[in-house]
Amino acid sequence: MTLMGFLRKDGSLGIRNHLFAMPAVVCANQVALDEAQKHPQIKYIEHQHGCAQIGADLEQTRQVMMALALHPNVYATMIVGLGCEGVIARNLYKDARAKSQKNVDLVVIQESGGTLGTENQIDQWVSQRETEMAPLQRSPIQWSDLVVGVMVDPGLAKAALPQSCVQTLFEAGARVVLPANQRDLAASWTTPLPTVDYGNAAPNPVWLMQPGANELETATGLTAAGAHLLLHLTAHPHAFGSPLAPTVRWCVEEPCYHQFHGDFDGQLQDKLDLPRLMDQLAHIASGQHSVAETYSMDDFALYRIGPTV
């Protein structure tokens, strides 16, 4: 099938048109949550970061937030600051605007009349951005326009089927980012693959990213690395997704699939299932919801390098 996506004015391409309310600090979580409850079309993250962090962790939090604010699946981002935070919202806003033509806006709680004043501003922002988005239509895109993050359960990276999935995606033209601890997924590559820090991207067709401490932290990092969608191959039931990148979960264990089939997008038994998997990925990239999206699994967990004080 022909893949369909949204072309951005900054030259990027997305497969979703999200409005994203991003709190720059834990103290701004409630505003983002209130607005998401009021406007279900808003995506948001809830986190414990942006304050009392130092050194590498502070810089990593800032880098991941910047990447999410500019994510290709986001039409417009509202950065929500408190006014006294470690990740200074105004600086994040200025840097994002300097780096990209993407629609990035800023509201600061202490400068906007508190919680109610801030939420009123976000209400107006939602109305304005939805009016802008209304006439937007999907256009034909190619697999080469997409970045796919692939992750598997521990012990599955050396299995033939997950390796075949990565190879099939690459042969279709997609760029692929893998957790560095699952480099065996790219066993067929004879040339060394670049390895980047957590949440970072590389210009290569296939690259490795340092993982988080668990699957959700890794999924957050892959999303920050620019993955348009995530493919999770697993032998266990899982219940998480990404707010910005559709998570597509296929089970490689038949008993598990039959017991928890409602948690999966499909079952991968042998190579004959790969065309069906690719077809489903194409449909989801073109707008069909994954199971995780249907269940509103909008989860976020940020890997921390060192202790938070």
CB distance 278 to 166 below 8 Å: no
pLDDT in tens, 144-195: 999 999 999 988 999 999 999 999 999 999 999 999 999 999 998 878 999 9
Chain centroid offset of residue 174 CA: 16
The answer, yes or no, to whether residue 137 has pLDDT greater than 60, is yes
Tokens representing 211 are: 């993982």
The ranges assigned to domains in the chain are: 18-133, 140-294
Q: So what's the pLDDT on residue 53?
A: 80
- Write down the CATH number for the domain with range 140-294: 3.40.50
- The conformation of residue 272, written as its DSSP 8-state character, comes to G
Confidence of residue 307 (pLDDT cuts 50, 70, 90): low
Alpha helices in 89-191, H assignment, sequence order = 89-99, 114-133, 160-172
Q: Count of alpha carbons within 13 Å of 194, Cβ hemisphere only?
A: 13
Average pLDDT of the chain, as a whole number? 94
The distance in angstroms from the start CA to the end CA of the chain is: 51
Q: So what's the pLDDT on residue 1?
A: 78
Q: Three-state DSSP class for 309?
A: coil
* Strands lying side by side in the sheet with 103-108: 42-44, 18-23, 74-81, 103-108
Q: pTM for the full model? A: 0.95
CA distance 42 to 56: 30
**DSSP letter string over 176-226?**
EEEEGGGGGGGTT--SPPPEE-TT---SSSEEEE---SSHHHHHHHHHHTT
CA distance 223 to 65: 11
Return the axis-axis angle of helices 114-133 and 29-38, rounded to nearest 10°: 50
pLDDT in tens, 81-94: 998 888 789 999 99
The domain defined by 18-133 carries CATH number 3.40.50.1010: no
- The conformation of residue 82, written as its DSSP 8-state character, comes to -
pLDDT in tens, 10-62: 788 999 999 999 999 999 999 999 999 999 999 999 998 888 888 899 899 99
pLDDT in tens, 209-260: 999 999 999 999 999 999 999 999 999 988 899 999 999 999 999 999 999 9
Q: So what's the pLDDT on residue 11?
A: 81
Q: Would you say how long the chain is, in residues?
A: 309
- Using only C-alpha atoms, what is the Rg of the chain? 19
Q: So what's the pLDDT on residue 142?
A: 96
Selection from 92, 75, 67 nearest residue 129 by Cα: 75
Q: So what's the pLDDT on residue 33?
A: 94
Selection from 169, 172, 188, 182 nearest residue 208 by Cα: 182
CA distance 195 to 206: 10
